[in-house]
Structure 1
Amino acid sequence: MPLVEVTLGAGRTDQQVRELIHEVHAAVTRTTGARSEHVRVIVREVPRAHWATGDVTLSEMDAAAPPSAPSTTTTTTVSQEPT
């Protein structure tokens, strides 16, 4: 039973998150052969002020970047339970 956890800085729309879930689910079922109903996808959104790289928060990076170019830092964890 595959479980995929995606952690990203907050700021996506519900539609963007839904599309992400769909695409991750499709990739997992295609590559592992797992049955659709056994694939779990968890999306965690972290407030941008609570995520830092090199002592600079995503909020600070956003403020320093040109408009419409927010940081796109994302972490993905994939685990496969024995079947």
Structure 2
Amino acid sequence: MPFVNIKVTREGVTSDQKAEVISGVTDLLVRILDKSPATTFVVIDEVELEDWGVGGLPVEQYRRNAAR
């Protein structure tokens, strides 16, 4: 019974995109690990940008530094 938790920043991910991710991840686990789609759980959590950090920095600051 696989459980996959995907976290993304809350930046306009659509319901259709989420559905495609859920379907794709489920298909991958079925194909690679021979798991049943009926018992495969995929959860997508959206995280506010201010609550996400990369390289010790808030993601917005990290992106600004990377753009330089």
Scaled by the length of structure 2, what TM-score is found? 0.77
Counterpart of 1:22 in structure 2 is 23
Q: Which runs of 5+ in 1 are unaligned?
A: 67-83
Structure with the higher helix share, 1 or 2: 2
Structure with the higher strand share, 1 or 2: 1
Q: Which runs of 5+ in 2 are unaligned?
A: none
Quick one: higher RCO (CA 8 Å, sep 6+), 1 or 2? 1
Question: How many correspondences in the alignment?
Answer: 65
Scaled by the length of structure 1, what TM-score is found? 0.65
Q: Give the percent of matched residue pairs that are identical in Structure 1 and Structure 2.
A: 23
Name the stretch that deviates more: 21-30 or 49-58.
Answer: 49-58
Counterpart of 1:56 in structure 2 is 57
1:18 and 1:60 map into 2 onto residues whose CA distance is 30
Counterpart of 2:6 in structure 1 is 6
